[in-house]
Amino acid sequence: MSKKIKWGVLGGGGDSLIGILHRVAASMFDAYQLTGGAFNPELSKSIEFAQELGIPTDRIYRGIDDMIAEELKLPESERIQVVSVLTPNFLHFPMAKQLLEAGFNVICEKPMTMTYAEAVALSEIQKKSGAQFALTHTYTGYPMVRQMKQMIADGVIGDIQKVDAQYYQGWINPIIHDKEKRKTTWRLDPEKSGISCCIGDIGVHAYQMLEYVSGMEVTSILADLNHLYEDNQMDIDGTVLLRFDTNAKGVLCASQIATGEENNFTVAIYGTKAGLRWEQENPNYLYLLEDGQPLRVLKPGHSYNNELSLDGTKLPPGHPEGIFDAMGNIYKGMAKAVRGETYHPAEFPGMTDGVRGMHFIETAVASHSEGNVWKKL
């Protein structure tokens, strides 16, 4: 009998980029076996997609209700163990809630929920269930991000005094200026996306990354968001000033109308001794900056990297690792947790990241709407 973790998926069918990303990631390390799920709201399309993937169709379900009911009829040794929720934002909370209450381990796309209240409720449900929960802040899986985190924890850059995150995309620019086109994009629909587009979609990635690598927590923020047009309900650009639980301060800039930008995410942490900078579009380079010293570039796979970084490195030095590898590392960490093996807490973001992320999103929107005022987190 296979020792692989039985894995189910909700959403992610067809040519969905997020579906492809998760399937490739789960296939790494030979830890998971795609067993069933519901890839599409239409059962016939889910079955057709399963056939394209070459997996049995007897555990392809009409939806989450049927999946949970039928899987729970099976002996525990045979049922799906981990379910990935890859649906639009408004379905994350109800699906994760049902799965956790039924005892399934969950891997969820972000944002975790539509509201902070839902996030808090989901946290309580997970505590009662005892199930594992991973939130796919994918960039935390990059080896050099993990290297950055450990170097900061080890005091390499000294006491942190300045943080900076920029996340620039331009994909909404061709859409936002056409009123009719705006109606066709679910990310600009509050009913499906939540109260925020840009901050809720990519700004929260930057926020989570800053807390992840720095080891600090944001205590208050001041946000200035941009909707561009009065009839557009959702922010598509924003700047957020940050105050941390130390004397450090910082700035987070996120935009989806940065014309021509693709996925330009940069994180920089500056300390009393040195600074570290990482860029998502060049993820295999971690830059170390020191006064009076030449710029140093650290790369994955080398023995000078820490254990956390090397554990997430799959290839010898000089072989680029990318977004699939980063997501694969999150799946790897989740597999250790599900199997009861020892794992580093930094191997996958979890419920706390989701709760804090939703609190950040709501607080940023409130800070802006109340006249650009400081708000506590």
* pLDDT tier at 172, thresholds 50, 70, 90: very high
The DSSP symbol for 269 reads: E
Q: What percent of the chain has pLDDT over 90?
A: 92
The residue with tokens 């989901």 is 122
How much is the average pLDDT of 16-34?
Answer: 95
Q: DSSP labels for 194-210?
A: -S-SHIIIIIHHHHHHH
Q: What percent of the chain has pLDDT over 70?
A: 99
Mean per-residue pLDDT, 73-102: 96
Beta bridge partners of 218: 244
| Whether 118 contacts 358, CB under 8 Å | yes
pLDDT, one tens digit per residue, over 123-166 is 999 999 999 999 999 999 999 999 999 999 999 999 999 999 99
pTM of the entire predicted model: 0.93
Q: With cut-offs at 50, 70 and 90, classify the pLDDT of residue 281.
A: very high
Burial of 204 (0-12, 13-18, 19+ CB in 10 A): buried
| Alpha helices, H only, 28-91 | 43-53, 64-73
Taken in order of first residue, the domains within the chain and their CATH numbers are 5-138 (3.40.50.720), 142-317+350-376 (3.30.360.10)
**pLDDT tens figures, 241-276:** 999 999 899 999 999 999 999 999 999 999 999 999
